[in-house]
Amino acid sequence: MAKCFALLMISLIFLVSCAQQDRPTENAIQPPARQQIEQQPETEENIQVPPEQTLPPPQPVRQQQQSWQPGGIAIQGTYADAEIAELGDGNYRMYYSIEPEVPGNKLEVFSATSTDGTNWVKEDGIRKEFATFPDVVKLPDGRFRMYFQNAGVIKSATSHDGLTWVDDPGVRIDKDEPGFILENVGAQGTIRLEDGTYIMLYRGTIDEPYRTAEKIPNKDTHIYFRATSKDGLDFEKKGLAIDSRNEVLLGAADGAEWVKWDQTSEKVELRIYFWSYAGVYHAIYQEGLFSEPVFDFTNKEDNMAKFPPNPPSDPTFAKIKGKWLMYYGQHTKGIYYATFETQETQMADKAAPAAQGASTGIPESIESNCIGFLVGIPSEVRTILLTGAGWARPHPGPFVWDHVEPQQGNFNFEATDDYVKNAQDNNIAMLATVWPYSVWDQSACHGSECQVSSDDQFLKPLEQLPKSRCAPCSLDSYDRFLTKIVERYDGDGIDDMPGLRIPVKYWEILNEPEMNEPDLTFYKGTQEEYVGILKNSNKAVKTACADCKIVQGGAAGIRSGMLSYWGKIFDLGGAAYFDIANIHYINSGDLNSLNVKDFKNLMQEKNVVKPIWVTEAEYSSESQIETSVNGALNAGASKIFFTRFIVGQRSPPPPGQYSAIYEKITELCPKIS
């Protein structure tokens, strides 16, 4: 009970990662005729809201239940690598390749036509020989260009009618890639944008398997690179795009396909689809960056296997008569199709909880919101709702091993449930910070060398974090704790918190591990040990929740020592164990991009390609906010979390009070078209 009471007392102090001086507030929105609020611990029972302004109820949320449903076979036989070209007048042509294992084959490409996308009539003849992975783009003058793999490189051919093809001279993409030794390139996907730019994603093959604890079926590793062109012939290589060397994709990514997807929001998303061991995934592309991969589809026979013998491969897509179809290969069986079914419902005020065995996700209206806030107590999420933001990051928050499992084997979810319930009641999603410290575990192998100063901000006046902050002594015990807490909030309908409606899908592992000041030290271990914590956390989280994402513990800033700290983390392979990079701006560094630009440069130097979040942004003046948020988003940030509801004020404001500037910041969130 003492720990629970301590968490509720956090309202007396709202501490963030760096101590700041008090500054006068600017344009703070206050409830009209606000009465004086007595300073006391805030609980659900004694939060005081002025009678003239009650906080509005959560707004309606539109939810889509959507999935791919297997439909049947489109082309039977030993064929794969389908590609769809729209011919006009409601006609479509499918190009497809012979399986390379067929004896005596010449790597032929064949074709078939259809008007409904499900019934295909094979055309006579061979479209192309010695060409694999046909990838067809319609040119502005009505011709077609086919990109294909030949002799380990990517070439192209052009056709006036889509039937007879003439090779273009030269090579489009060769095997030379800075920083990599590739056996071949291929499995490309190409799209021509409205401005005339061609973007190609192409697979590079590394002649060694992905290294992990278990044996991987493939003898090599596949990763994706990006190139652009103005004419579709001369391509400029842009470097690594999708890195499969992680515990989700396990070194396998293949069959890239671009899709302008129009089923998830008012704006069209530019997606890249590909397949891996588990099935078909997609990532969203915007301004040179790709989101973390999202799992989409597998066949019913393989939905429980980690390394299924025949997963759906080389996906291609077409929207025919208003319905989306996905075509995929089934080795030696032919090319199959699935249809996308969607049902949209509007909840009166909140998402419905998942039934036992049923899953729920974060509503799209929240996922697309790029703004969040740090909160010190659960009830502060109500103010987030007023600002128009969609995300909460409790700091330090309740997801502390010692608070959840105060004695080994005895779990207490009271504080974590309180945060999650308050968030979902206000249609807010949560980024949870995991603190891998438990008093009983730390004492098993650590001594005074792992203890922080008695002046540490998170020890005084309340012990929000344990005093000993080194790597877990028992990784098995830590894994059990983390798996258990992720399972409770993952929304899969199994062992979920009762009444869970908005799950926790994003898990940050520690915060600012490089910060080592007399009054502020979050972590006392080594960089090698932090990589070990990331690796174990990745495994535990993904075991419980395959579509959950790991967020790197926020980098404190861009001073040379901080960047070198994270440079070593990347050199040690730490980037393989998180999905989203994370940088902070606390009134220090590059205000124009909230430190995103410098941290992204470091990532590029280390061949790390990940989405970037700014999970702490703190200012001295409201005038800095709009320009810097724009700069950070343009530099590649996906989400930004502010540390203060009232700019420059350290103490928590009364419920419902915030700086006016925040009301228009969510309008800056990208609209993907």
Least confident of 38-42, 367-371, 529-533: 38-42
The neighbouring-strand residues paired with 374 are 393
User: Residue 347: pLDDT above 70?
Assistant: no
**CA dist., res. 358 & res. 344, Å (int):** 17
Total Cβ atoms within 10 A of residue 304: 8
Total Cβ atoms within 10 A of residue 277: 21
Model pLDDT, residue 64? 44
Q: Which two tokens stand for residue 70?
A: 């297997």
Least confident of 63-77, 377-391, 505-519: 63-77
**CA dist., res. 598 & res. 267, Å (int):** 30
User: Residue 417: pLDDT above 70?
Assistant: yes
At residue 31 the predicted structure's pLDDT band, cuts being 50, 70 and 90, is very low
Complete domains list, the chain, with CATH: 145-341 (2.115.10.20), 376-666 (3.20.20.80)
User: Residue 304: pLDDT above 60?
Assistant: no
User: Residue 34: pLDDT above 70?
Assistant: no
**CA dist., res. 115 & res. 101, Å (int):** 31
Q: What angle do CA 394, 479, 293 make, to 5 degrees?
A: 70
Task: Verify cis geometry, omega within 30 degrees of 0, for the bond prior to 70.
Answer: no
What is the pLDDT averaged over residues 584-605? 97
At residue 539 the predicted structure's pLDDT band, cuts being 50, 70 and 90, is very high
Cα dihedral: 240, 634, 591, 627 (round 10): 180
At residue 42 the predicted structure's pLDDT band, cuts being 50, 70 and 90, is very low
pLDDT for 208-226, tens place per residue? 999 877 788 889 999 999 9
Which DSSP helix (H) or strand (E) runs through 217? none
**CA dist., res. 576 & res. 244, Å (int):** 9
Cα-based distances in Å from 103 to 97, 151, 480: 14, 18, 51
User: Residue 487: pLDDT above 70?
Assistant: yes
Q: Which two tokens stand for residue 58?
A: 């959560």
Q: Hey, what amino acid is at 432?
A: A
**CA dist., res. 396 & res. 375, Å (int):** 9
What mean pLDDT, rounded, does the chain reach? 87
Model pLDDT, residue 267? 75
Model pLDDT, residue 294? 84
Model pLDDT, residue 501? 94
